[in-house]
Amino acid sequence: MPSGALAVSFILDADRHRLRIPPRRLPRRRDNLWRHTCFEVFISRKGSRAYREYNFSPSGEWAAYAFSSYRKRADASVARPGWNGRVATIEARGPLKIGVSAVIEEKSGAFSYWALRHPPGKPDFHHRRAFAMELA
Protein backbone atom coordinates (compact mmCIF):
# COMPACT_ATOMS: atom_id res chain seq x y z
CA MET A 1 0.00 0.00 0.00
CA PRO A 2 1.43 3.43 -0.90
CA SER A 3 2.53 5.85 1.82
CA GLY A 4 -0.38 8.05 2.88
CA ALA A 5 -2.96 5.46 1.81
CA LEU A 6 -5.89 4.60 4.04
CA ALA A 7 -7.33 1.10 3.68
CA VAL A 8 -10.92 0.45 4.76
CA SER A 9 -12.39 -3.06 4.70
CA PHE A 10 -16.14 -3.56 4.45
CA ILE A 11 -17.66 -6.78 5.77
CA LEU A 12 -21.41 -7.19 5.52
CA ASP A 13 -22.34 -9.72 8.21
CA ALA A 14 -26.05 -10.28 7.54
CA ASP A 15 -28.60 -12.68 6.11
CA ARG A 16 -27.78 -11.92 2.48
CA HIS A 17 -30.96 -13.68 1.28
CA ARG A 18 -32.94 -10.78 2.78
CA LEU A 19 -30.80 -8.09 1.14
CA ARG A 20 -30.75 -6.52 -2.27
CA ILE A 21 -27.07 -6.67 -3.26
CA PRO A 22 -26.12 -5.10 -6.61
CA PRO A 23 -24.69 -7.67 -9.06
CA ARG A 24 -20.98 -7.53 -9.96
CA ARG A 25 -20.10 -5.17 -12.78
CA LEU A 26 -16.95 -3.84 -14.35
CA PRO A 27 -15.32 -1.37 -11.95
CA ARG A 28 -16.28 2.16 -13.00
CA ARG A 29 -17.34 5.50 -11.61
CA ARG A 30 -21.09 5.80 -11.09
CA ASP A 31 -23.27 8.34 -9.28
CA ASN A 32 -26.23 7.61 -6.97
CA LEU A 33 -24.77 4.43 -5.49
CA TRP A 34 -26.40 5.40 -2.17
CA ARG A 35 -29.81 4.52 -3.67
CA HIS A 36 -28.92 0.84 -3.09
CA THR A 37 -26.65 -1.15 -0.80
CA CYS A 38 -23.34 0.71 -0.63
CA PHE A 39 -20.56 1.72 1.74
CA GLU A 40 -19.32 5.26 2.26
CA VAL A 41 -16.23 6.96 3.64
CA PHE A 42 -16.03 10.68 4.46
CA ILE A 43 -12.60 12.23 5.04
CA SER A 44 -11.61 15.70 6.22
CA ARG A 45 -8.39 17.17 7.48
CA LYS A 46 -8.84 18.00 11.13
CA GLY A 47 -9.93 21.65 11.48
CA SER A 48 -11.01 21.97 7.82
CA ARG A 49 -14.58 22.45 6.57
CA ALA A 50 -13.66 20.79 3.25
CA TYR A 51 -14.07 17.04 2.89
CA ARG A 52 -14.19 14.19 0.41
CA GLU A 53 -16.88 11.53 0.03
CA TYR A 54 -16.28 8.07 -1.40
CA ASN A 55 -19.07 5.60 -2.24
CA PHE A 56 -18.41 1.91 -2.85
CA SER A 57 -20.90 -0.62 -4.18
CA PRO A 58 -20.54 -4.39 -3.78
CA SER A 59 -20.97 -4.34 -7.59
CA GLY A 60 -17.43 -2.95 -7.91
CA GLU A 61 -18.66 0.51 -8.90
CA TRP A 62 -17.48 3.58 -7.00
CA ALA A 63 -17.86 7.36 -6.78
CA ALA A 64 -15.71 10.15 -5.34
CA TYR A 65 -16.70 13.76 -4.58
CA ALA A 66 -15.08 16.88 -3.12
CA PHE A 67 -16.98 19.34 -0.89
CA SER A 68 -15.79 22.78 0.24
CA SER A 69 -18.16 22.70 3.23
CA TYR A 70 -21.33 20.90 4.38
CA ARG A 71 -22.95 19.45 1.22
CA LYS A 72 -21.42 22.24 -0.94
CA ARG A 73 -19.78 20.51 -3.92
CA ALA A 74 -16.35 21.81 -4.88
CA ASP A 75 -14.98 21.87 -8.39
CA ALA A 76 -11.85 20.06 -7.21
CA SER A 77 -11.10 16.68 -8.70
CA VAL A 78 -10.76 13.66 -6.44
CA ALA A 79 -8.28 10.87 -7.14
CA ARG A 80 -9.81 7.54 -8.03
CA PRO A 81 -9.87 5.26 -5.00
CA GLY A 82 -8.83 1.63 -5.13
CA TRP A 83 -11.83 -0.71 -4.77
CA ASN A 84 -12.05 -4.47 -5.21
CA GLY A 85 -15.60 -4.97 -3.89
CA ARG A 86 -14.42 -5.45 -0.32
CA VAL A 87 -11.40 -3.24 0.46
CA ALA A 88 -11.15 0.46 -0.42
CA THR A 89 -7.78 2.22 -0.65
CA ILE A 90 -7.86 6.01 -0.45
CA GLU A 91 -4.98 8.48 -0.59
CA ALA A 92 -5.22 10.58 2.59
CA ARG A 93 -2.73 12.28 4.91
CA GLY A 94 -3.51 13.28 8.50
CA PRO A 95 -4.49 14.47 10.89
CA LEU A 96 -7.88 13.28 9.71
CA LYS A 97 -11.51 13.13 10.79
CA ILE A 98 -13.26 10.16 9.18
CA GLY A 99 -16.84 8.95 8.88
CA VAL A 100 -17.60 5.39 7.82
CA SER A 101 -21.15 4.40 6.94
CA ALA A 102 -23.33 1.97 5.02
CA VAL A 103 -26.70 2.03 3.30
CA ILE A 104 -28.33 -1.40 3.34
CA GLU A 105 -31.30 -2.20 1.08
CA GLU A 106 -33.55 -5.15 1.85
CA LYS A 107 -35.44 -7.09 -0.80
CA SER A 108 -38.63 -5.72 0.77
CA GLY A 109 -37.49 -2.21 -0.25
CA ALA A 110 -36.72 -1.14 3.33
CA PHE A 111 -33.45 0.67 4.02
CA SER A 112 -31.24 0.83 7.08
CA TYR A 113 -28.48 3.37 7.63
CA TRP A 114 -25.35 2.48 9.60
CA ALA A 115 -22.54 4.75 10.78
CA LEU A 116 -19.86 5.03 13.42
CA ARG A 117 -22.01 7.83 14.87
CA HIS A 118 -25.30 9.41 13.81
CA PRO A 119 -26.17 13.05 14.51
CA PRO A 120 -29.62 13.70 16.04
CA GLY A 121 -32.56 13.34 13.62
CA LYS A 122 -32.61 11.49 10.34
CA PRO A 123 -29.40 9.87 9.07
CA ASP A 124 -26.97 12.43 7.64
CA PHE A 125 -23.54 11.02 6.89
CA HIS A 126 -22.30 14.49 5.77
CA HIS A 127 -22.89 15.94 9.25
CA ARG A 128 -19.63 16.58 11.16
CA ARG A 129 -20.82 14.51 14.12
CA ALA A 130 -20.71 11.49 11.80
CA PHE A 131 -16.95 12.01 11.32
CA ALA A 132 -16.33 10.01 14.49
CA MET A 133 -12.86 8.55 13.86
CA GLU A 134 -9.64 10.53 14.19
CA LEU A 135 -6.27 9.54 12.74
CA ALA A 136 -2.99 11.38 13.37
pLDDT tens digits for range 96-115: 999 999 999 999 999 999 99
How many whole angstroms separate alpha carbon 117 and alpha carbon 109?
24
pLDDT tens digits for range 8-67: 999 999 998 999 999 999 999 999 999 999 999 999 999 999 999 999 999 999 999 999
Assign 3 a pLDDT band (cuts: 50, 70, 90): low
Q: Residue 86: which residues within 8 A CB-CB, separation 6 or more?
A: 9, 10, 11
Measured at the alpha carbon of residue 8, what is the angle toward residues 23 and 6, in degrees to the nearest 5? 130
φ and ψ of 114, to 5 deg = -120, 140
The structure's pTM equals 0.94
Amino acid identity of 69?
S
What pLDDT score does 93 carry? 87
> First CA to last CA across the chain, in angstroms?
18
